[in-house]
Structure 1
Amino acid sequence: MRRNSYLFVVLFLISLSFYAQDLKEALYEEGFENVLVNDEDDTLKIFFELREFRSPYHSMRFANDIASSFVEGKTIEWIPLHHNIPIGKYSSDSYSFNTLSSADLEFYNKNNKPFKNYRFNVRIRPFVAARFGYYSSPFETIFDGIIDTRVYLAKGLSAQTGLVIPIQNSLNNTSMEPRIAPSMISYFTQFTPGHFANISYGTYHNDRYGLDVQYRYGLPSKNWSVGIEAGLTGFYYQDGFQDIIFSNMSKIHFLADIEYHLPIENLNVRASVGQFIFQDFGGRVDLIKQFGLVDVGLFGTYTQNGATAGFQFAIPVFPGNIFKTKKVQLRTAEEFRWEYTYNNEDRVGLKYRMGSPRLVDVLRQYRVDFIQSLQR
């Protein structure tokens, strides 16, 4: 009798391992990466990263649809990753949020293998800069196509590089020769629950290079967050692949902000103060509305260099996934972000674009109130 009981337990454990492995493979085939399944009694904890969507809610909803064919009678906790770092635990039914336990982190650190668990991910994205208002040339633009990739080297550590293919330029004297895209080494971490940091060194858009540091505190379960952005940068110029000129890294910028997620209509108000990249001290106020995969916002800025106002938006880039294999994926960027300011002559309250979303724009998508509003 006892021998039969042992046999039943062994067979049960084997069946659990098979369905967990089948679930991992099904998620991976649909584009999920670094899928780790931790089966604990009546709860299944699933770590994953999906770089196709800018919204973790849509990633978890997609994963729920896949998991429904494999899991019965168990609670699922989804643990989304950003740049190889777990953000927190979301329940599969109500999307309530919990921080990770020490056991969760131990399991992840033991099984996280960036070189093995991620595809070589090639991304296609547009870059647009524009100026309006001149009678002789009412619409001056830069339009580039960028092909780039991000490779994970260790937990939270990654390298990004690529190629810029100029398509049109009626705005400035930037070379029309193909050149290296913004390239950087980045380290992202959540060193204690709610404390996030991203440190990058490399080249960015707007002809800037150097050190960029971002820190943010705010649990996804809270409606407010605070942050700091700072950097030491210089200018650089590229004319194709041969002539690259760098100035000294002597420009310091620093900004502190507070953001509040209003309990109505997924509106966020953000107030920033500090010194912008052209050494003008002042402040900026943003009002941002989230529409699922789309963000739309208005802003106003006042600094020593003058005043301005404008709008911004972030949208997904069609078509998303183009093709993927077990080791390689070609896709469009998870978002296209653009900002327009009416005062396009004076350098008022400007920041450079990095080639990836800033920390505040990433973490805004993880707020529980926003995610639960999409479920309703």
Structure 2
Amino acid sequence: MRNHIRFLIFISLLLLNGNLLFAQRQAGEITKRLNRAGFENIRVFPYGNTVTVSYENSRYRNKATALSEILDSLSGYGYDTLKVITLVKDLPVVITKLSASVWKQYKASQITGIEMARQITISYNTDAVWNTLSNRMSTHPHINKIDIVVYPQVSIMNVQFNRNYEVQLNIAPALEVSLWRGMKFTGQVIFPVVNDYRFGEVGTLIRAGFVTLAQEFRLPGTIQGRAVVGKFNADRYGADMTLTKFLFGGVSYLSANAGYTGMYRYVSSNWYRDDLSTLTWFLKSGYFYKPYDMQLDITAGRYLMGDYGLRGDVTRYWGETSIGFYAMVAGSKFNGGFHFTIPLLPKRNRKNRSFEVRTPYYFDWEYNAGTEFNKGQIYKTRPNE
């Protein structure tokens, strides 16, 4: 009897070790495949009929294209359930969960994209799943990789009767590098190309743009945060923090922002820096209406001149392109306008690079229909904001 028990234990251990070795081998194969595809911060954890993967996309301009390639790669390894965590600066942002068979049916045109989307679970609460991956060493990390992103800057004014438009055009390359998880340094230089009179003498100078140190972080649940210090645009320097809570699988959100800044400006051939003295704050909420691919946002808060205001935005998306309209009131002044975003080439970057010179993924622009230059003004903290 004892010999039978020992034999069963021996067989069980052999099977267990065999399963572990098989899982480790498949994890290694998946890691190599995703690495060859150009993804970063790859972690793989196979367990039973489920495989969990984290990745960071710096390869494709379109995030959906990147996720699609990840799912294509995973669906061929025989697992029933796929769990994919999308990272930004090695921080978990969103988890996508679906059946491998559903993805295969969609790729074979047996079900529509709408039918497939109904069977996908998307959540910004990544805590439980991320705990199974966070202690694993990532493959192909993003840390210490340098991007030189060449941003175009275009400003147009129509406030004078004797000419139709005044134009400012700059080329503003920015060095962007991450030195640890969640961190990003940005150092930008602005080179003027065209500068009409209304934009002032400073527009003719080669000058610093954004020079910032930003740290992104996560709090328990679906709360994500970003803190940044440095030199911003709108002649501002100081500190800024934003907390965002995602709701209902990411279709809605609540956000709170606060900033404490001073002025840094060019006057009479000299640069001047004021003390930190200006407090701004904003509360923002939004909802994405899927049937029309429409984003609705409303913002209330305190602007740079101490005026309080309210702004509403409606934005319609067509793939990677969007156009929207806004209306606002600040300090009893009414204003409005439109904004748009268009994708820029290339659609994808080089694989496994440690240094890259590229254009930004998107160009966005906003038109202010009024002539109000004091009320309702606020700064930005990064070039692609």
SS at match of 2:201: coil
CA contact (8 A) 1:284 1:349 kept: no
CA contact (8 A) 1:42 1:75 kept: yes
* Match in the other structure for 2:44: 37
Q: Which digits, 9 at most, give the CA deviation of each residue in 1:327-359, with x for residues without a partner?
A: 23333212222111111343232222322555x
Of stretches 70-79 and 51-60 in structure 1, the one that deviates more from structure 2 is 51-60
CA distance in 2, matches of 1:97, 1:178: 45
Of stretches 253-262 and 320-329 in structure 1, the one that deviates more from structure 2 is 320-329
* Match in the other structure for 2:122: 97
SS at match of 1:196: strand
* Match in the other structure for 2:137: 111
Q: Which digits, 9 at most, give the CA deviation of each residue in 1:168-197, with x for residues without a partner?
A: 222332243433330211121220122121
CA distance in 1, matches of 2:208, 2:73: 39
CA contact (8 A) 1:53 1:334 kept: no
Q: TM-score, structure 2 length as denominator?
A: 0.81
CA contact (8 A) 1:210 1:234 kept: yes
* Match in the other structure for 1:65: 72
Q: Which digits, 9 at most, give the CA deviation of each residue in 1:16-53, with x for residues without a partner?
A: 43443333233334332111112222111111111355
CA contact (8 A) 1:35 1:117 kept: no
CA distance in 2, matches of 1:137, 1:172: 17
Q: Which digits, 9 at most, give the CA deviation of each residue in 1:41-100, with x for residues without a partner?
A: 2111111111355653332113223445x5233422111112321013102544312432
- Counterparts of 1:268-347 in structure 2, within 5 Å, are 268-304=295-331, 306-321=333-348, 323-347=350-374
CA contact (8 A) 1:323 1:331 kept: no
CA distance in 2, matches of 1:220, 1:317: 31
* Match in the other structure for 1:230: 258
Q: Which amino acid aligns with 2:178?
A: Y
Q: Which digits, 9 at most, give the CA deviation of each residue in 1:232-279, with x for residues without a partner?
A: 11222369xx97532222122111122222353022222211211232
The unaligned stretches of length 5 or more in structure 1 are 359-376
Matched, 1:120 2:146: yes
CA distance in 1, matches of 2:194, 2:88: 33
Aligned residues: 355
CA contact (8 A) 1:46 1:79 kept: yes
* Match in the other structure for 1:86: 92
CA contact (8 A) 2:210 2:383 kept: no
**What is the Cα deviation at residue 103 of structure 1?**
5.7
Matched, 1:144 2:170: yes
CA distance in 2, matches of 1:16, 1:272: 49
**What is the Cα deviation at residue 116 of structure 1?**
6.2
* Match in the other structure for 1:368: none
CA distance in 2, matches of 1:163, 1:265: 39
Of 35, 39, 54, which residue of structure 2 is paired with 1:28? 35
CA distance in 1, matches of 2:62, 2:349: 19
CA distance in 2, matches of 1:24, 1:356: 33
Of stretches 313-322 and 245-254 in structure 1, the one that deviates more from structure 2 is 313-322
Of stretches 73-82 and 317-326 in structure 1, the one that deviates more from structure 2 is 317-326
Q: Which amino acid aligns with 1:75?
A: T
**What is the Cα deviation at residue 115 of structure 1?**
6.2
Of stretches 6-15 and 210-219 in structure 1, the one that deviates more from structure 2 is 6-15
Q: Which digits, 9 at most, give the CA deviation of each residue in 1:122-170, with x for residues without a partner?
A: 3222222221243433222222222223322333222222332222222
CA distance in 2, matches of 1:329, 1:14: 38
SS at match of 1:289: strand
Q: Which amino acid aligns with 2:337?
A: G
CA contact (8 A) 2:41 2:141 kept: no
> Which structure's CA Rg is the greater one?
2
Are the structure 2 counterparts of residues 215 and 73 from structure 1 closer, same or farther at C-alpha, using a change threshold of 3 Å?
closer
Are the structure 2 counterparts of residues 305 and 29 from structure 1 closer, same or farther at C-alpha, using a change threshold of 3 Å?
farther
* Match in the other structure for 2:109: none
**What is the Cα deviation at residue 10 of structure 1?**
4.6
Are the structure 2 counterparts of residues 303 and 11 from structure 1 closer, same or farther at C-alpha, using a change threshold of 3 Å?
same
CA contact (8 A) 1:305 1:347 kept: no
The unaligned stretches of length 5 or more in structure 2 are 1-6, 104-118
Are the structure 2 counterparts of residues 322 and 218 from structure 1 closer, same or farther at C-alpha, using a change threshold of 3 Å?
closer
Are the structure 2 counterparts of residues 72 and 163 from structure 1 closer, same or farther at C-alpha, using a change threshold of 3 Å?
farther
CA distance in 2, matches of 1:148, 1:334: 14
SS at match of 1:26: helix
SS at match of 2:131: helix
Matched, 1:129 2:135: no
CA contact (8 A) 1:284 1:302 kept: yes
- Counterparts of 1:180-259 in structure 2, within 5 Å, are 180-219=208-247, 221=249, 223-237=251-265, 244-259=271-286
Are the structure 2 counterparts of residues 349 and 126 from structure 1 closer, same or farther at C-alpha, using a change threshold of 3 Å?
same
CA contact (8 A) 1:145 1:164 kept: yes
Q: Which amino acid aligns with 1:272?
A: T
Are the structure 2 counterparts of residues 82 and 325 from structure 1 closer, same or farther at C-alpha, using a change threshold of 3 Å?
closer
